[in-house]
Amino acid sequence: MDEMDRPREACGVVGLYTWPEAGVDVARSAFFALYALQHRGQESAGIAASDGRTARVHRGMGLVSQVFNEENLSPLQGHLAIGHTRYSTTGASALQNAQPYLIDTLHGPLGLGHNGNLTNATALRQQLLERGVGLMSSSDSEVLTQLLASPPPGPPSRGPDWERRIQAMMARAEGAYSVVILTRDAVYAARDPVGLRPLCVGLLRDDTGQGLGYVVASESCALLTIGAKYLREVHPGEIVRLDRDGLHSVPGAPPRARSASCIFEYVYFARPDSLLDDQNVHAARQRLGAQLAREAPADADLVISVPDSSTPAAIGYARESGIPYVEGLIKNRYIGRTFIQPSDRLRRAGVRLKYNALRANLEGKRVVLVDDSIVRGNTMGPLIRLVREGGRAAEVHVRVSSPPVRHPCFMGVDMSTHGELIAHRMDVEAIRAHVGADSLAYLSLEGMHAAVREGLQPDPEATCAAGHCDACFSGCYPVDVSHLLSAASPAKSRFERGGR
């Protein structure tokens, strides 16, 4: 059970190609890589592996550690594999939507794992059905799989021509996608032309530093977990092929003049030890907190965080403001996602199942409570009451290290309607009164971008200028979502009419 007020990401992906003679247990390596990506999705997990002749897959509902054991990992033999851990955005939370998908084709096995959300999934699905293609799930990822299984346009080729198939898929798919693809002889990875969802590549090494193969993953933390060296990000619009001859870059779809990777990765989604745009996420979050302190100072005695994701921002706020940072909320780290529902009494206890207030640090103090975001507004009020009642704090001043979330996301995050977003319905003062804070302030949109950009280094190999998608804050989307917006909000609000 996790009822915290956090947006949830779609999923995490990993792909490995190792030299056959290296003897790497790719399924086990994929398992531990997925374990490192567990924060990106907790509903289902799966791994597909191939020895170059046959492919096998195991998928299941639950956490990575719940889905896999020695018995179901051991049949996943081979030297190439892909893996996936999922949180559903398109398609229900059900086994038929678990990934990776694995199908047989005329040219051997085809497996796919997808992170993101297609904005034209409904139209593509209809086109496939009209062609007589049967679909077993409601996921847009199966749509991508069937697009890859279809012959690419143009003259027929003797072989599978997977690169042309992937290029044809990228020409038709719109929205967000970072995908890993398993074929008989190679693992492919591709990223949408805007670069909305993250994807990076690394070199798998043994203890002596000898190369064993290559890895792609949603985040660099997965590479480090299995002993791989981070090399670089997969560029927007790029196809990467991992095979017997090494690592190859193939043009996939023309990248946009300016990329638009999701800025919420810096705010919350990515693990703090990961690299995004070749900069450390933890350091970026500290800069967000420091910028917040400059923009929204508070007359207080202590700075505390909502652990764990807000801790770097709280540290940055404390350093910049000169107010000491202390632990104020203790997280029960053994309460994760569970299928056991609490009783009505425990449900009413809310955040007390997950946090306890450290009264020895808080009693009688004026507290700055730093959080990374307020999305639906259903958790901050109970947290403030916990700090006041359990911690006996004198005042609670809330500071948020991102701007108000006022617009839905259609690119792989579970914020799909205006109505569920508290900042779309209320202004800042109304939210403050609703949650019961003594004061409330958010980081500005300009301040958020400045803090993230501060750590960026010019990349001479980049195919387009660096940029970020901030649509959930600004309402400015990098791809056409007009048909989705009309469904998300039948009546326009003052924010849509007049700005932020």
CATH of the domain at 330: 3.40.50.2020
How many Cα atoms within 13 Å fall on the side-chain side of residue 331? 14
Same domain, 94 and 147: yes
Same domain, 176 and 113: yes
| Mean per-residue pLDDT over the chain, rounded | 91
pLDDT in tens, 199-234: 999 999 999 999 999 999 999 999 999 999 999 999
Reply yes or no on whether the pLDDT at 498 is more than 70: no
Reply yes or no on whether the pLDDT at 69 is more than 70: yes
In a domain, 262, yes or no: no
| pTM summary value | 0.92
Lowest mean pLDDT across 1-10, 143-152, 349-358: 1-10
Reply yes or no on whether the pLDDT at 434 is more than 80: yes
Active site residues: 11
In a domain, 245, yes or no: yes
pLDDT higher for 413 or 306?
A: 306
In a domain, 476, yes or no: no
Same domain, 189 and 326: no
Same domain, 243 and 332: no
Nearest residue to 150 via CA among 126, 130, 166, 173: 166
Same domain, 164 and 291: no
In a domain, 484, yes or no: no
Mean pLDDT for the stretch of residues 103-110: 95
Same domain, 126 and 238: yes
Same domain, 325 and 429: yes
pLDDT in tens, 5-35: 766 656 999 999 999 999 999 999 999 999 9
Q: Write down the pLDDT at residue 97.
A: 87
Same domain, 215 and 308: no
In a domain, 498, yes or no: no
Same domain, 201 and 85: yes
Contact call for residues 325 and 315 (beta carbons, < 8 A): yes
Domain count, the chain: 2
Reply yes or no on whether the pLDDT at 340 is more than 90: no
Q: Write down the pLDDT at residue 409.
A: 93
Same domain, 245 and 350: no
Same domain, 115 and 248: yes
Q: Write down the pLDDT at residue 463.
A: 60
In a domain, 216, yes or no: yes
Q: Which CATH number is 210's domain given?
A: 3.60.20.10
Reply yes or no on whether the pLDDT at 408 is more than 80: yes
Structural domain that includes position 230:
11-256
Reply yes or no on whether the pLDDT at 478 is more than 80: yes
Same domain, 204 and 154: yes
In a domain, 499, yes or no: no
In a domain, 38, yes or no: yes
